[in-house]
Chains A and B, each alone.
Chain A
Amino acid sequence: MELAEENLDEHHLDEKEVVDVVVRFAGDSGDGMQLTGTNFTDATALYGNDLSTFPDFPAEIRAPIGATFGVSAFQIYFGAEDVTTAGDALDVLVAMNPAALTTNVGNLVEGGLLIVDSGAFTAKNLSKAKYQVNPLEDGSLEKFRVLEIDITKQVLAAVAEFNLGHKTGVRSKNMWTLGLVLWLFDRDRAGTIESLKTKFASKPEIASANIAALNAGHAYGETAELPAGIHVYKVPKAKVAPGTYRNMTGTNALAWGLVAGSELANIDLLFASYPITPASNLLHELVRHREFNINTFQAEDEIAAVCAAIGASFAGSLGVTSSAGPGIALKAESIALACATELPLVVVNTQRGGPSTGLPTKTEQSDLNMALYGRHGDTPMPVIASSSPVDCFDVAIEAVRLATKYMTPVMLLSDGYLANAAEPWKIPDMSEFEPFPVEHYSKTEDFKPSIRNSETLARVWAKPGTAGLEHRIGGIERSFDTGDISYDPANHQKMTDLRQAKIASIANDIPLQEVCLGNDSGKLAVVGWGSTFGAIHQAVKRARAEGLDASHVHVRYLSPLPRNLGELLKNFDAVMVPEMNTGQFVNLIRSEYLIDAQALNKVAGQPFKIGEILAAIHANFADTGGNS
Chain B
Amino acid sequence: MNQALPKLTVKDYASDQEVRWCPGCGDYAILKTIQKLMPTFEQPKESQVFISGIGCSSRFPYYMNTFGFHTIHGRAPAIATGVKLANPELDVWVITGDGDGFSIGGNHMLHVLRRNVDLQILLFNNEIYGLTKGQYSPTSQTGTRSPSSPTGSIDLPLSPCEVALGSGGTFIARTIDTEAKHLSAVVTRGHDHQGASFIEILQNCPIYNDGIFDQVKDKKIAADFKVELVHGEPVVFGKEREQGIRLNHDTLKLELVDATSDDVLIHDESNKILATMLATMKGPDFPVAVGVIYREDKSSYVDDSQQQLISVRAAKGSMQELLHSGHIWDVE
Contact = CB atoms under 8 A, between A and B. Distances in A.
A430 B86 contact: no
Interface stretch (B76-84, B139-147, B150-158): B76-84
Contacts of A627: none
**Which of B70, B305, B330 has the most A CB atoms < 10 Å from its CB?**
B70
A356 interface: no
A469 B44 CA distance: 12
Nearest to B67: A464
A45 interface: yes
B331 to A, nearest CB: 5
A610 B87 CA distance: 50
B78 A291 contact: no
A474 B83 contact: no
Given A45-B329, A300-B111, A470 B87 contact: no
A464 B90 contact: yes
B308 to A, nearest CB: 7
Contact of A259 (B313, B322, B331): B322
A350 interface: no
A52 B132 CA distance: 56
Contact of A465 (B65, B90, B312, B328): B90
Interface string A286-311: 00011110010101110111011111
Contacts of B308: 290
B75 A304 contact: yes
B266 to A, nearest CB: 37
A474 B70 contact: yes
A356 to B, nearest CB: 21
A596 interface: no
Interface stretch (A108-116, A314-322, A492-500, A508-516): A314-322
A292 B47 CA distance: 25
B6 to A, nearest CB: 10
B289 to A, nearest CB: 29
B78 A304 contact: yes
Interface in A425-443: 427-428, 430
B294 interface: no
Contact of B44 (A270, A289, A307, A467): A467
A337 B82 contact: no
A244 B324 contact: yes
B312 to A, nearest CB: 5
B317 interface: yes
A315 B107 contact: no
A81 interface: no
Given A244-B329, A317-B86, A300 B108 contact: yes
Interface in A298-356: 299-301, 303-305, 307-317, 319, 333-334, 337, 341
Given A297-B85, A304-B78, A465 B108 contact: no
Interface in A459-513: 463-476, 484-485
Contact of A243 (B319, B322, B331): B331
Contacts of B64: 472
Interface string B294-331: 00000000000100110011011101101110111111
Contact of B83 (A260, A312, A471): A312
A259 B47 CA distance: 28
Interface in A235-254: 240-247
Nearest to A430: B319
A580 interface: no
B45 interface: yes
Contacts of B87: 315-317, 463-465
A263 B319 contact: yes
B75 A303 contact: yes
B108 A304 contact: yes
Contacts of B62: 472, 474, 485
Interface residues of A, number: 68
B82 A309 contact: yes
B70 A314 contact: no
A6 interface: no
Given A242-B331, A290-B313, A316 B66 contact: no
Interface string A210-243: 0000000000000000000000000000001111
Contacts of B309: 290, 295
Nearest to A333: B72
B51 interface: yes
B107 A300 contact: yes
Contacts of A301: 107
User: Helix, strand, loop or mixed for chain B's interface?
Assistant: mixed
Contacts of A337: 71-72
> Which of A263, A297, A319, A472 counts the most chain B CB atoms within 10 A?
A472
B241 to A, nearest CB: 43
Contacts of A290: 308-309, 312-313
A460 to B, nearest CB: 13
Contacts of B54: 475
B250 interface: no
Q: Which of A300, A301, A341 has the most CB of B within 10 A?
A: A300
A307 B68 contact: no
Nearest to B321: A291
A48 interface: yes
A594 B268 CA distance: 74
A268 interface: yes
A467 B17 contact: no
A244 B75 contact: no
A304 B107 contact: yes
B82 A308 contact: yes
Nearest to B15: A472
Nearest to B50: A472
A46 interface: yes
B285 interface: no
B332 interface: yes
Nearest to B323: A427
B71 A474 contact: yes
A77 interface: no
A307 B107 CA distance: 13
B262 interface: no
A272 interface: yes
B272 to A, nearest CB: 22
A42 interface: yes
A191 interface: yes
A240 B331 contact: yes
A74 interface: no
A430 to B, nearest CB: 5
B69 interface: yes
Contacts of A465: 46-47, 87, 89-90
A307 B313 contact: no
B49 interface: yes
Q: Top 3 closest A-B pairs, CB basis?
A: A311-B82, A474-B70, A308-B82
Interface of B: 15, 17, 44-47, 49, 51, 54, 61-62, 64-72, 75, 78-87, 89-90, 107-108, 110-111, 305, 308-309, 312-313, 315-317, 319-320, 322-324, 326-332
6 contacts: A191-B327, A246-B324, A299-B81, A305-B78, A311-B82, A319-B82
Given A292-B319, A464-B90, 4 more contacts: A242-B331, A300-B110, A464-B67, A475-B72
Interface of A: 42, 45-46, 48, 191, 195, 240-247, 256, 259-260, 263, 268, 270, 272, 289-292, 295, 297, 299-301, 303-305, 307-317, 319, 333-334, 337, 341, 427-428, 430, 463-476, 484-485
